[in-house]
Amino acid sequence: MAEMWINMGPQHPMTHGLWNLRVKVDGEVIVDAMPEIGYLHRGMEKIFENKNYTQIGPITDRLCYGSSITWNHLYCMTVENLIGVEVPERAKYIRVMAIEIQRIASHMMWLAAYAADIGLLAGFVLAMRDREIMVDLLQMLSGSRLTYNYSRIGGVAADLPPEFERDCLRAIDFFEKRIEEHETLYRDSKIFLMRSEGLGILSREDAINLGVTGPTLRASNVKYDVRKHNSYEVYDEMDFEVQCHSDCDVYGRYVVRMNEMRESCNIVRQALKKMPKGPVRVKTPMYAPEGDAIGRVEDPRGEGIMYVIGDGTDKPYRLKVRSPLFVTLSAAKKMLVGYKVADVVSIMGSIDVCMGETDK
């Protein structure tokens, strides 16, 4: 068979959203790859410039449907950095806890999507089932199930509901047992190892140079986590390990994510334990001063950054979003070339694609 271009997407089950992966194949072997994005572009950054700071909050939820709390929090944190507000202690702890619950939910959704990609439908169904636990917790916190809009500039929307601590601890304990169950489904499966080991190798140098972040970077053997090494909110008071893996392949990414979920459970527990009493929100001015600020968080998919420029009005002059997957996708060619067409799903599934934040 001669070399030919195959369009995987924009409507293809592998893509998990609207994007197009053009792969050039020689028979079944990939010789070139070209991701094309923009199908979901909503002009977020232009919208931000035309809304005031309060109105932007709910829009940032829509950046990524998989981890909306993280993005919402990132926005609030960036604006707080700009106007120089100190958030109450309790709000910081609540934020950390909510982010970690969201991280588990997001990783669970990744696990479900990835399992479906490699044809393990049991993994899909069971992971989606267990994600519900986390979504229920977030629903208790914020009242909604997908776009939570929980963080506000200067704190969080509401204090913990009554009995939340008890329910949360119970859910986390239950969930930790469930993770073990999920692991058995993958770790003990020879076919899963055949489909993940040695695939999509992204060496350490390439990963750093290509700007890849998050679990993909850590699976390429770089022990870097914004939470630990550029700590924000109260992460420096939390005791957790940065997960990394030396395999640089799809399996490494899987291991990193699974272990991160366990660490997140720990962090939630610690946050609940150390949480002080007090207010959860302070009043903030409507108008931001002139100047610029950046906020940097560890999104479930990588390093999320917002760069905000204020001009003294109630609207940001410029709000730039750095979405982790935007950069990770540009590394797709490096990960794909040399492997088989059937591996595309496994490799692209392993980076946890979310088009909402990529296309902005």
Interaction residues for another protein, span 269-298 (CB under 8 A) = 292, 294, 296
Count other Cβ atoms within 10 Å, centred on residue 203: 12
Q: Judged by CB under 8 A, does residue 4 bind another protein?
A: yes
x/- contact string, 132-171, with another protein (CB under 8 A)?
A: ----------------------------------------
Here the tokens at position 65 are 């449907």
Sign of CA dihedral 147, 159, 156, 302: negative
Q: Residue 236 or residue 279: which is nearer to another protein going by CB?
A: 236
Cα–Cα distance list, 54 to 69, 233, 277, 279, 284 (Å) = 16, 21, 26, 20, 10
Report, in Å, the least distance between residue 244 CB and another protein: 6
Number of residues this chain uses to bind another protein (CB under 8 A) = 86
Strand order of the sheet with strand 29-36? 3-8, 20-26, 29-36
Q: Does 205 bind another protein (CB under 8 A)?
A: yes
Distance of CA 204 to the CA centre of its chain: 21
Burial class (CB in 10 A: 0-12, 13-18, 19+), 225: buried
Residue 252 in contact with another protein, rule: CB under 8 A = no
Subset of residues 214 to 233 that bind another protein, contact rule: CB under 8 A? 221-224, 228-231
Q: How far is the CB of 149 from another protein (least distance, A)?
A: 22
Residues 72, 78, 84, 88: what is their CA dihedral angle, to the nearest 10 degrees?
A: 30
Element (H, E) at 216: helix 215-219
212 binding another protein? (CB under 8 A): yes
Binding to another protein, residues 317-356 (CB under 8 A): 317-318, 320, 322, 326-327, 329-331, 338-345
Region for 119 from its dihedrals, namely left if φ exceeds 0, alpha if ψ lies in -120 to 50, beta otherwise: left
Nearer to another protein, 144 or 333 (CB): 333
Which stretch, 100-108, 170-178, 246-254, 269-277, contacts another protein (CB under 8 A)? 246-254
In the complex with another protein, which residue's Cβ is closer, 8 or 268?
A: 8
Any contact of residue 309 with another protein (CB under 8 A)?
yes
Which of positions 37-66 make contact with another protein (CB under 8 A)? 37-38, 41, 43, 45-47, 49-50
Per-residue tokens: 251: 């399996």
Residue type, 232: Y
Nearest to another protein of 196, 270 (CB atom): 196
Residue with tokens 């197009």: 20
**Binding region for another protein (CB under 8 A) out of 83-91, 103-111, 113-121, 259-267:** 113-121
**Quick check: 360 binds another protein (CB under 8 A)?**
yes
Token match 């794909």: residue? Answer: 336
